[in-house]
Structure 1
Amino acid sequence: MLSLFGKKKELEPVTPKQRYPCPFYGFHMAMEMLMDQSGNQCALITKSYSPCKMKISNQTPNWNKCQFVGEKNRKALETITDNFIIFPDEFFPKGAKSWKGMAFKDWQNYIMKQETSPK
């Protein structure tokens, strides 16, 4: 995100929330949008609600260790990164009745920089 002076500004949530380092954890995907579910859902499993495979295996969800990362899914992941909109609860503007969400790429960059995870 650029400021008025052209310098890149870090994203800051309206209401901070601890998240696992995975941009898909806790979201549901539909029609090029990812909606916050505040649960353990994996947005990459689209045929039905499905919890994160790592979480149900008693592992800490982590995008860098996920079975969906790899050459097999590269094209689909690039499409999501470049074209999808996401609606994380912590960025919903205070007092707003609705909002247009944010670019998935911005969310991915933000969430992968987080150093804390839910306990």
Structure 2
Amino acid sequence: MSHPLFGKDSFTGTVVIDSLPFTKQDTMLDMIVSEKKNDIDQANLTYQSNQSPYMVSNQGLIWFDRDFENINIWGSAKWLDEGESSEQLYIVAPASNVNEAVQVQSQMRSSFGEDFVPKSQVQ
């Protein structure tokens, strides 16, 4: 994580999700923090194909705290190869089940504010 004196914070590295092959095979572009609120950062999470024409293969939004201990990723249905489905995918850490994920999201929303996604609780 880079915290320049002038300019936006950025992360150079890789976010790999074992169950999503594109996160292992495609190149992840640097994450530039677009918004910061109360120790929670928001950035675009973008993967680019390693094969010509090198197009964006997948993208989403990520929220994380300074130590990457709490993470919320909002991916599209395309992440699960479901095309243009209206389903939304959330990957939350640390969480072992839906209830723990909702708790982490609630804590992050309390810090970040109403612009945090998801806006409603999982039922």
TM-score under structure 2 length normalisation: 0.30
TM-score under structure 1 length normalisation: 0.31
Higher relative contact order by CA 8 Å / sep ≥ 6: 1 or 2? 1
Higher helix share: 1
